[in-house]
A = this chain, B = another copy of it.
């Protein structure tokens, strides 16, 4: 029995834990370095810092320096500069290399997932449930239009303009639907617009979008797999998603006074933060196992706790934690982005790039128009709402992955979806910053009226 890692590397058969730790430490150092260099450069040229974290990730990732690569991309241990560095500094033997590489990548991936969970918990804490409910109808319209418009435009365009078969067109159309809540929320937070009406509509719509995206994925996935839509599965998904969001908020509001009084009786360090995190992780777990995304649970937890007297304390304490966890997520997103699909010198990429250009236009137009569906709020920045819905991300890439695995997508179409996700993800932060630019004046004007 050994609680800790043995010091002599030769004693063990599985991945040498002290080398896994060394690899994780090195990966984190490089991730933090890339996030700070990228973030600082972007903030100096007046772009959102999160864009810099994404680009920093691209620079250290699979597309460029290959410090941080992941096994899923078909990369091997020897492709990772971190592993090569470990081999030359620590005594990592070739035999143990693959194991260390896999374990280390696993740990970094989970840390990235915890990063986006903590980000959404923080976003939830900074959101206002009452305001979200107030803008709910607007957010719902934005979400539905933002799913239907790109889906119809994309699918129809691919079938009629490009002559693609129906199934891959439906898949590509579906990949256009979901908004990446992480990137939008982070940019809004950086701009200080999270609690504005526009911000709350975007967040509300993005949350609904995430759920709609998962439902669309289930529909399309079962369509591809069985040739028909399994209505019962879809109904279960819709009911469980609705029950989850409404249920967590209702039950959460019932038990949050109990949590607060419990915390008030606790005497050990970190009682507020640890209790809040337990709550967030439990809801993230529940969301995860009912096939929703963990981030929805964390967001709901933040929303519920934002209504308690502990909001301010939690908000303050979550900041350093988020500062350490969240960059791991964005840098990993960048590091996993394979810009190879953008290289027009490779002939097989060209068809994909042409389809991608079309998808990008649909992806941007299909979301930007959603802002103009908001009625009765003349003072609102409608363009900003639409632009806020532009970044794709997680769900879009899941579509590409599932479609490719099921054989429904040709390599060109898959590449086109990935290019569309990359483009919308990287273009949205500067666009969003630009459309919010003259906001302060507007606020002053409307206050002066």
Q: Which residues of A contact B (CB under 8 A)?
A: 1-8, 11, 14-15, 17-18, 20-22, 24-26, 28-29, 32-33, 35-36, 39-40, 43-44, 49, 71-73, 89-90, 103, 106-107, 109-110, 113-114, 117, 190, 214, 217-218, 221, 266-271, 273-275, 277-278, 281-282, 284-285, 288-289, 291, 294, 317-324, 327, 332-333, 336-338, 393-394, 397-398, 400-402, 404-405, 418
A71 to B15, CA, bound (A): 12
Minimum Cβ distance to chain B for residue A430 (Å): 16
Q: Quick check: A338 and B1 within 8 Å, CB to CB? A: yes
Known pairs A25-B117, A90-B288, A270-B320; list 14 more (Cβ under 8 Å).
A1-B397, A1-B401, A4-B394, A7-B221, A17-B109, A21-B288, A22-B285, A24-B114, A25-B285, A36-B274, A36-B278, A39-B268, A40-B267, A318-B320
Q: Quick check: B4 and A327 within 8 Å, CB to CB? A: no
- Residues from chain B with a CB closer than 8 A to the CB of A284 are 25
Q: Quick check: B36 and A398 within 8 Å, CB to CB? A: no
Q: Quick check: A15 and B106 within 8 Å, CB to CB? A: yes
- Residues from chain B with a CB closer than 8 A to the CB of A274 are 32, 35-36, 323-324, 327
A18 to B398, CA, bound (A): 12
Give 22 pairs: A residue, B residue, CB < 8 Å, sorted on A: A1-B400, A5-B113, A5-B398, A7-B214, A8-B402, A11-B401, A15-B106, A21-B110, A22-B294, A25-B294, A32-B278, A35-B274, A36-B278, A40-B267, A43-B267, A43-B268, A89-B289, A269-B323, A270-B327, A317-B319, A320-B321, A321-B321
Whether A398 touches B4, Cβ cut-off 8 Å, given contacts A21-B294, A270-B324, is: yes
A25 to B114, CA, bound (A): 8
- Residues from chain B with a CB closer than 8 A to the CB of A107 are 106-107, 110
A201 to B33, CA, bound (A): 35
A143 to B6, CA, bound (A): 23
A218 to B113, CA, bound (A): 39
A291 to B338, CA, bound (A): 36
Q: Quick check: B20 and A110 within 8 Å, CB to CB? A: yes
Minimum Cβ distance to chain B for residue A270 (Å): 3
Q: Which of A4, A14, A321 has the most CB of B within 10 A?
A: A4
Minimum Cβ distance to chain B for residue A225 (Å): 9
- Residues from chain B with a CB closer than 8 A to the CB of A29 are 278, 281-282, 285
- Residues from chain B with a CB closer than 8 A to the CB of A268 are 36, 39-40, 43, 49
Q: Quick check: A324 and B277 within 8 Å, CB to CB? A: yes
Q: Quick check: A278 and B33 within 8 Å, CB to CB? A: yes
- Residues from chain B with a CB closer than 8 A to the CB of A338 are 1
Query: What are the 7 tightest A-B residue pairs by CB atom distance, in nearest-first order?
Result: A270-B323, A2-B401, A317-B320, A90-B289, A39-B268, A25-B285, A4-B394
Minimum Cβ distance to chain B for residue A394 (Å): 5
- Residues from chain B with a CB closer than 8 A to the CB of A281 are 25, 28-29, 32
- Residues from chain B with a CB closer than 8 A to the CB of A14 are 71
- Residues from chain B with a CB closer than 8 A to the CB of A106 are 15, 20, 103, 106-107
A294 to B23, CA, bound (A): 12
Q: Which of A2, A73, A277 has the most CB of B within 10 A?
A: A2
- Residues from chain B with a CB closer than 8 A to the CB of A277 are 28, 32, 324
A266 to B33, CA, bound (A): 13
A379 to B5, CA, bound (A): 40
- Residues from chain B with a CB closer than 8 A to the CB of A317 are 319-320, 323
- Residues from chain B with a CB closer than 8 A to the CB of A8 are 221, 402
- Residues from chain B with a CB closer than 8 A to the CB of A394 are 3-4
Partner of A21, one of B113, B267, B275: B113
